[in-house]
Structure 1
Amino acid sequence: MPGPPTARGPLRVARRVRRERLLKRAKRRVYLKSEEELQAMRRANQLVASTLRLLRAAVRPGISTAELDQIAEENIRDQGGVPSFKGYHGFPASACISVNDQVVHGIPGPRRLQEGDIVSIDLGAIVDGFHGDSAITVPVGTISDAARALIYHTYRALWEGIAQAVVGNRVGDISHAVQRYAEAQGYSVVRELVGHGIGRSMHEEPQVPNYGPPGRGPALMPGMTLAIEPMVNLGRPEIEVAADQWTVSTQDGKVSAHFEHTIAVTLDGPRILSEWPDQEEPI
């Protein structure tokens, strides 16, 4: 789930959240995890990954977003986890399910998927006190070439960012890699929503934008855990929030894709905590 300032509820509270964050600046810290804590985080993220695998298989024309959410919640709870998103700042469901021009934070409901849709599923789970967080975008039946390319390149943008998550780099190197790749393909990146640190809290420091110059931001250190999540639009980057005060959509009505992995920065390079062992390419 994209992090502050806008992921903590509607965009109308972003200014208040930013003020609160400024007041807490002196208390900010990046929590570095031990190997034991990383293993606990991996368990949470593997539960998320396996649940997303179930959801991907369940996506088909005619299924409702509420039915997908039910599958997600039941699987997480059956495996001993707790959905991270349900009740988080009032969010009413276990999964964020966003269709077509919806970027993120879509609330599951009676809407039924149709042939040609694309659906982004963002999911979080808590296991042993640690959060896992990951997202995928899935085609519904046969989709347009433009939508297919957007999904593919958003996924590649994620991996471009992950490749920069190495000791000695800075958060801005991740951000710049995502932006450079996505814009080189002719797309735009959402700027109001960001990736984030993650651990015992779903949103920790640092923020991980999907744009910006390289060499800026906090230095990457062993034990840092980050949710890297490009949100890439087929058209312009501007977004708006629906009347439900959660669902974020593109202003121009063009489709958007979203992928996310939780990773750990280690001396051996980025460790993907939310990757399923036989995970396939999205398209």
Structure 2
Amino acid sequence: MPLPLPSDYIRTKLVDRVRAVFNDTASGEKPVPPSDDALFAKDSPIRLVHADAVSMMIGGIRSLLLQMLHPHALQGVLDHSNFREDMHGRLRRTAKFIAVTTFGHRDEAEKVIERVNRIHAAVAGTLPDGTPYSAQNPRTLAWVHVAEATSFLDAYLQYVRPGMSLADQDEYFRQFAVIAKKLGAEPVPENKREADALMREFRTELRPSAEAGQVADLVLTQRPEGTPPGVQQMLGTAAVDMLPAYARSMLGLSSPGITAIPAKLAARTAGRTLRWAFRQG
């Protein structure tokens, strides 16, 4: 029996390390197996974007930072989440939702969407000024969705495929809209032009706050278990660099400027390495 090649050993170790970050391996949680009967076809834009681990982590951090600027989204996290105590668990559950709805069998995708809708039904309360909020509010859901979609795609464009056609970018938004609508979001952009317009429209609803800054600090400084030293700083710096200037200002974050260059180079190198490990090119 031939011995395994050193490159195969390295691939296996890298894949195992990444899967340990995104799955609760201690409890036996398994990665989501890609299905030929998923909501979206193999090699379609949403599956290509959501398959890249490094750009998704950068985009995920960026989207969380943006989401916390909306008072309703922020208060829901503060009142109904153990984010402070289990940030990694929350991020892992979000990643699992994206994986199942993008790559899993369509029946499993519908089940996790239904489960999230049930959870959202119990998330409600009031803002400090007495304004009621609800996780079922279509507009709040729309903000969470558009912050995610634009962040995931922008990171993919910057770190993986700068030459992605506008037609494929539009298709990405159209596909991701399928999930957002099942969650009750409204309005939902179905192309890049609509997404950019909705991001501009939401500017008037965003607010700086001490609490949003605290969540941002937690997201950027707490290293998830199993993440190698330095990786969290690299991902966080790359994510902050991609934030709009207004968002950095509201969160009390400085522009990384030229200090982002090493982090961006490291992110590109890490992305290429993981795509090699996962045999994605």
Higher percent of residues as strand: 1
Structure having the larger proportion of residues in helix? 2
- Whether the TM-score (by the shorter chain) exceeds 0.5 is no
Which structure would you say has the larger RCO, counting Cα contacts within 8 Å and 6 or more residues apart? 2
- The higher radius of gyration belongs to 2
- Shorter-chain TM-score bucket reads under 0.3
TM-score (norm: length of structure 2)? 0.25
- Give TM-score, length-normalised by structure 1: 0.25
